[in-house]
Amino acid sequence: MNRVTLFFHKAGSPPWFYRVSGLLIPWFWAIFIVLTAIGLYLGLIKAPVDYQQGETVRIMYLHVPSAWMSMMIYGFMAIMGFIALVWRIRMMEVLVISSAPIGAAFTLIALITGSLWGRPMWGTFWVWDARLTSELVLLFLYFGVIALYKAYDEPRKAARAASLLSIVGAFNLPIIYFSVVWWNTLHQGSSFTGDGPGIHPSMLWPLLIMATTMKFYYGASLLSRARLTLLKQDHRKRWVQDLLSGENS
Amino acid sequence: MPSYSVFVISAYLVGTVVLLWVALAPVFNKRTLLRQLKTRQARMERSK
pLDDT digits (tens, 9 = 90+) for A80-89: 999 999 988 8
Q: Which of B1, B3, B4 to mutate to test the interface with A (most CBs of A within 10 A)?
A: B4
- Inform me whether the pLDDT recorded for A236 exceeds 90: no
pLDDT digits (tens, 9 = 90+) for A42-70: 999 999 888 878 889 999 999 999 999 99
pLDDT digits (tens, 9 = 90+) for A178-199: 888 888 877 877 766 656 667 8
Across the interface, of B2, B14, B25, the residue whose CB is closest to A109 is B14
ipTM above 0.85, yes or no: yes
| Cα dihedral A11, A13, A19, A21 sign | positive
How do the domains of chain A map onto residue ranges? 24-187+201-248
Q: Which of residues 12-41 of B touch A (CB under 8 A)?
A: 12, 14-15, 18-19, 21-23, 25-27, 29-30, 33-34, 37-38, 41
Strand-pair partners of A197: A192
Amino acid at site A161 = A
pLDDT digits (tens, 9 = 90+) for A3-45: 777 777 777 789 999 999 999 999 999 999 999 999 999 999 9
A109 touches chain B (CB under 8 A): yes
Largest Cα span, chain B: 75
The SS3 call for residue A100 is: helix
- Inform me whether the pLDDT recorded for A99 exceeds 90: yes
Binary contact (A244, B41; C-beta < 8 A) = yes
Q: Which helix (H) or strand (E) holds A192?
A: strand A192-193
Rounded Cα–Cα distance for residues A74 and A178 (Å): 16
Q: What's the pTM? A: 0.93
